[in-house]
Amino acid sequence: MNPVPDIYRILPEVVLACTGVLVMLIDATLPSRTARRPLGWVAALGTTLALWASLWQLSLPQGTGFFGTVETSSFTVFFHVLICGIVLVTLLLTLDTLPADSHHQGEFYALVVFGAVGMCLLTSAVELLLVFIALEISSISTYILAGYRKNTDRGPEAAIKYFLLGSFATGFLLYGIALIFGATGTTQVYEAARLIAASPNRTFVVAGLGLMLIGILFKVSAAPFHLWTPDVYEGAPTPAVALMSTAPKAAAFALLLRVVYELFPALHSLWQPLLWAVAVLSMTVGNLAALRQQNVKRMLAYSSIAHAGYLLAAFAGFGTSGIAAAAFYTAAYAAMNVGIFAVVTLVGGYDEAHSMVEDYRGLIYRSPLLGSLLIFFLVSLVGIPFTGGFFGKFYSFSAAVDGGAVALAIIGLLNSGLAAAYYLRLALTAAQRPAASAEPARPTAEIGVAVGAALLLAVSVTLSLGIIPNEVLRAAESAAHTLQSPPSPVLNPAHIPGDLTEPPLRP
Amino acid sequence: MNSIDQSILTLLLLVPLAGAILVALTPDRTKLPNWIALLTSLVTFGLTLHLPAHFVAGQSGFQFEINRSWIDRPAIFYHVGIDGLSLWLVVLVGLLAPVGIVASWNAIRERRKVFFALFLIQQTAMFGVFLSLDLMLYYGFWELSLVPMAILIAMYGRKDGPKAATKFFLFTFIPSAPLLVAILWLYARTGSFDFVTLQILIAHGQFAAGALCWCAIAFLFAFAVKVPIFPLHGWLADSFSEAPVALAMVIAGKLGLYSMLRFHIGLFPAQARAAAPYVIALAVIGILYGACLALAQRDFWRLLAFAALSHLSLMVLGLYGFTLNGSTGAVYQILSHGLVDAALFLLLGSLYDRYASSQINAYGGLASRLPRTATLFVIATLTMIGLPMLSGFVGEFLVLSSTFGGVSRAWASLAALGVILGAAYMLWLVQRIFYGSLSDLTSSRPALDLGFGQLLILCPLAVLMLLLGLAPNLWLPTIQFGVHPTGARLIGLVIEPGTHPYALPTVSQEGGQR
């Protein structure tokens, strides 16, 4: 029997859900004139608690709860901490940058926290139906966040585009799950994996794999499922983009890792070339398209597609090294991307009147701090050593080389040369002397306590991943290890061994 | 070894970095950032002087070595050390930092804080390149050195900074991708990034020759762009005309040439030797091509750029001649060229500050109005064209004579032609700027000769040029000893298994007869 109370297995999610409900209730009871800003601090506090709760989960023995539907292992803790960290930074960023009179400010905080519940649950779910529910929780929050600026043209467009395409993609995922259930008679990941490995007839399983991959690759915005990304990023408020481009992707990558390495290890020879192709396509398409962008948010959207490609390169690696590299890259990418979107938020302002590359001209002269931070995060995105971006790419491509995909690594490195061109264009425009005939210098945003803390967090994580990556790397490796050696199947009385004749359980 | 000897190299890397952070934290309104930066660079220069003072001449292997684990997987070590090859280059970097800061004292008027912070980070990166003995650490500093340079060119460019900065960055960044792949391939085969270990392993021929050849080409390509060698010099002229004076004096040459000798010739002697005929041909083309283009330039920054191409190609010729004297002369020439370039950039920079033009024909007759500038400029010019008794002569002579005797008379004669052309374009430059009648530009502005601060740095530079020319034996033996393992291996000495590659019998006579 399971000695760990089930509730401990989902403690961070519980904390986050309670925080979200609390924020919503307070928001509803407060008189309408009262400032909603303190609610943001409540949400940030709750997220911090959830982060501690995830770390505390490390002391639990690895295992599953709630009849084998959720798992705690160093893998889930790694991604929980990452997601909670991203959410925390986003909340701090939002606190100072949402205008005081913006409507429904309380809802923004609540939605961010509810989204975090879904993302966290997505990383720890080992039951496909729970995976689906978690994905929906996280997606629905982000759909609404994307359309938060409903008075603009682009906001509702972004939300509707994201919603329609996202629902469609989730439909694919669900169909895939249904096919897996049809083939194996179970939706429990370990059970299904065992049955898949033993089954000789794989037609439905292969179809299920394909459909599930489509759904997940849509969520990580890998090419050719990336078309929504630039429009949504452009229309959504920048703090929400900071969240959307990192946390749901981290969760989706966790899901992808779980699906390919835990559910379909038997089909290794099938999904690996597929992901190889998607990786190459993503980086090339993303970088080529980003070269031509004049809008900073669109450029970063395409760059995030390219980064999804770099990350997918890690999947060409052998088990443990590939998973560890992917996990590490997710963390490094999240830190620098949240950071750069924080800077973009401060430069562009809430109304985003200044969102073109040319608007950044002379940023370092106007505001040395923001300019330097922008350049720092861009340098990390380029992948210069002593920043997190370098080691992320480094481990990802080393994993690919280890796995024998030398061509992939070379394409990837050439791509990062290509990417340097557009990152550099922004960085050097920011460094350029302001035009002599410029209109009176517009005031740059004040950097408040909250947003200062957010930037500090992003900078220090990006730097420390580049200078002292040992700890995080060890965590990623132990996460990879738990994913490679799943716990022995939990006794599940409700399990009906489907149409495949199988020995009941592993001894 | 006392404690300072054990941590001196770490200090060298940390002091400029700490200075950069301090500068970044100070307010920008006063000259405080300048003073902090100057103080930091002087302290750093003092620290670099500790090295030659305590360097044990004639001791094989690396000194002041530190070797600690940095990252577990892959096994990257913080391995730094110094030998005769890098010793004086480190001192040169230390010396050029205060020179650059004084040169920028009044020239940089906006965002001083950003300028000096990045300048000091750049210095750390350059020290890192010269000190690193772990290939990944080396690669890290190599890449890092691009960033402050590119940003500062973009920030303080004279006309179109971002374009020149992009060119500079991409030209160096893209070839470093194959370099990284080559380093990773070596690691995949050996499990080590350590320079000394790899040197031993490669010398024992544990690799497939074909793959090793590709590795060597990747290394050579990355370094050849950085030097630059003839067809890869596209970034040089733009960077020279856009970069602030303090950075232009370190942008070309040193890092690439050092890396060639240490990591291309040092790691892959056989492959380097196979590539040598092509490199030599390109170098000689570079010498003549650079000199001819320098003759045709109307802008003095561009003239200096093509002159640099010509001179750097001469050093490459020395390195790839595979003669002990040639390599020694090339390293000596790096030092000399570093001093001369610094002086010329300073002087032309001060002219540009006063007259805001880099067109040579806008100037004229300045010798009578700016006597101190003219005197120092002529000294630097004479050093550059290799007048005996001045530092430029020693290196040039060693390279040319060893090429003549040890490589090929034809190449040596052609290279010597480049030296003659060098005298032509430099003296013509002096004539057009300082002699003749006063031009409209020079007569219309008040004549302000060099200030006290500038004299304070230029005079020591001039004295050093003279000293390097008069007493080369103060420096040559150390350099020769640092260079000689490379030369020694090339004349066919085999390294015994297990021995340190630098513990070789001394080679007294010139090797490398081809």
Are A470 and B71 in contact (CB < 8 Å)? yes
CB contacts of B23 in chain A (<8 Å) are none
pLDDT over threshold 70, residue B322: yes
Are A398 and B114 in contact (CB < 8 Å)? no
Which residues in B have their CB inside 8 Å of a CB on A? 24, 28, 71-74, 110-111, 113-114, 139-141, 143-144, 146-147, 150-151, 154-157, 161-162, 165-166, 169-170, 173-174, 177-178, 180-181, 184-185, 188
pTM score of the predicted model: 0.90
Are B71 and A473 in contact (CB < 8 Å)? yes
Judged by DSSP in three states, B66 sits in: strand
Are B72 and A473 in contact (CB < 8 Å)? yes
Residue bearing the bigger pLDDT, A496 or A351: A351
Nearest to A312 by CA among A224, A202, A418: A224
Mean pLDDT of B307-318: 92
Q: What is the pLDDT of residues A16-57, one digit of tens each?
A: 999 999 999 998 898 877 888 889 999 999 999 999 999 999
What contacts A207, CB < 8 A, 6 or more positions away?
A: A176, A179
The C-alpha atoms of residue A13 and residue A8 are separated, in whole angstroms, by: 10
CB contacts of B169 in chain A (<8 Å) are 420, 424
Residue A437: the pLDDT is 62
Residue B177: the pLDDT is 85
- Looking at chain A, which residue has its C-alpha nearest residue B173? A417
Mean pLDDT of A159-170: 92
Q: What is the pLDDT of residues A424-440, one digit of tens each?
A: 999 988 888 887 765 55
Q: Which residues on adjacent β-strands are paired with residue B134?
A: B194
Q: Mutate which of A432, A465, A474, A481 to test chain B, going by most B C-beta atoms within 10 A?
A: A432
Among B143, B165, B184, beta carbon nearest to A428: B165
Neighbours of B339 (CB within 10 A): 25
pLDDT-based confidence at B496, cuts 50/70/90? very low
The C-alpha atoms of residue B319 and residue B279 are separated, in whole angstroms, by: 10
For the four alpha carbons of A418, A421, A422 and A423, in that order, the dihedral sign comes to: positive
Judged by DSSP in three states, A500 sits in: coil
pLDDT over threshold 50, residue A503: no
Is the ipTM, as predicted for this complex, more than 0.95? no
Q: Is residue A108 part of a domain?
A: yes
- Looking at chain B, which residue has its C-alpha nearest residue A376? B147
What contacts A502, CB < 8 A, 6 or more positions away?
A: A194, A195, A198
Asked if the C-beta of A441 comes within 8 angstroms of chain B's C-beta atoms, the answer is no
Enter the tokens of residue A193: 């994996």
Q: Looking at the 3D structure of chain A, how many domains does it have?
A: 1
Taking only residues 451 to 490 of chain A, the set having a beta carbon closer than 8 angstroms to any beta carbon of chain B reads 469-470, 473-474, 477
Nearest to A466 by CA among A390, A404, A411, A413: A390
The C-alpha atoms of residue B414 and residue B392 are separated, in whole angstroms, by: 18
Determine the structural domain holding residue A243 and report its residue range: 7-484
pLDDT-based confidence at B506, cuts 50/70/90? very low
The C-alpha atoms of residue B393 and residue B416 are separated, in whole angstroms, by: 12
Q: What is the phi/psi pair of residue B439, to 5°?
A: -90, 175
What dihedral do alpha carbons B237, B240, B242, B248 form, nearest 10°? 160
pLDDT over threshold 60, residue B513: no
Q: Among A131-135, A358-362, B446-450, where is mean pLDDT lowest? A: B446-450
Q: Is residue A499 part of a domain?
A: no
Q: Is residue A506 part of a domain?
A: no
- Looking at chain B, which residue has its C-alpha nearest residue A432? B155
Are B155 and A425 in contact (CB < 8 Å)? no
Q: Mutate which of B112, B114, B121, B158 to test chain A, going by most A C-beta atoms within 10 A?
A: B114
pLDDT over threshold 80, residue B497: no
Nearest to B418 by CA among B276, B497, B311, B324: B311
A341 in Cβ contact with A238 (< 8 Å): yes
Q: Is residue A347 part of a domain?
A: yes
Residue B156: the pLDDT is 87
Neighbours of B109 (CB within 10 A): 9
Nearest to A23 by CA among A126, A95, A79: A95
pLDDT-based confidence at B504, cuts 50/70/90? very low
Residue recorded with tokens 């000495």: B493
pLDDT-based confidence at B134, cuts 50/70/90? very high
Among A402, A433, A473, beta carbon nearest to B155: A433
A287 in Cβ contact with A323 (< 8 Å): no
Q: What is the pLDDT of residues A250-264, one digit of tens each?
A: 999 999 999 998 888
Neighbours of B69 (CB within 10 A): 11
Average pLDDT across chain A, whole number: 87
Greatest Cα pair distance, chain B, in angstroms, is 72
Q: Is residue A260 part of a domain?
A: yes
Q: Mutate which of B139, B180, B186, B215 to test chain A, going by most A C-beta atoms within 10 A?
A: B180
Among B72, B147, B184, beta carbon nearest to A384: B147
Residue B362: the pLDDT is 87
B121 in Cβ contact with B92 (< 8 Å): no
Q: Is residue A429 part of a domain?
A: yes
DSSP B262: I
Phi-psi region of A256 (alpha: psi -120 to 50; beta: other; left: phi over 0): alpha
Neighbours of B21 (CB within 10 A): 12
Nearest to B367 by CA among B351, B383, B388: B351
pLDDT over threshold 60, residue A293: yes
Measure A469 CA to nearest chain B CA, in Å: 7
| pLDDT above 90: percentage of residues in chain A | 50
| pLDDT above 70: percentage of residues in chain B | 93
User: What H or E segment, with its residue span, contains residue A214?
Assistant: helix A203-219
Residue bearing the bigger pLDDT, A232 or A439: A232
Q: Is residue A492 part of a domain?
A: no
Q: What is the pLDDT of residues B228-272, one digit of tens each?
A: 898 888 888 889 888 888 888 888 778 899 999 889 888 888 888
Asked if the C-beta of A410 comes within 8 angstroms of chain B's C-beta atoms, the answer is yes
Nearest to B101 by CA among B161, B152, B51, B144: B152
Residue B508: the pLDDT is 36
Judged by DSSP in three states, A244 sits in: helix
Average pLDDT across chain B, whole number: 85
Judged by DSSP in three states, A331 sits in: helix
Nearest to B299 by CA among B353, B237, B244: B237
Residue A441: the pLDDT is 57
Q: Is residue A1 part of a domain?
A: no
Q: What is the pLDDT of residues B267-288, one digit of tens each?
A: 888 888 888 899 999 999 999 9
Give the DSSP letter string of A180-198: HHHHHS--BHHHHHHHHHH
Residue recorded with tokens 């290799």: B386
Question: Residues B300, B308, B283, CA angle at the centre, nearest 5°?
Answer: 140
Q: Mutate which of B71, B168, B193 to test chain A, going by most A C-beta atoms within 10 A?
A: B71
Neighbours of A484 (CB within 10 A): 17
Measure A429 CA to nearest chain B CA, in Å: 7
Q: Which residues on adjacent β-strands are paired with residue A285?
A: none
- Looking at chain B, which residue has its C-alpha nearest residue A429? B162
Among B24, B71, B166, beta carbon nearest to A424: B166
Asked if the C-beta of A375 comes within 8 angstroms of chain B's C-beta atoms, the answer is yes
Among A410, A428, A473, beta carbon nearest to B181: A410
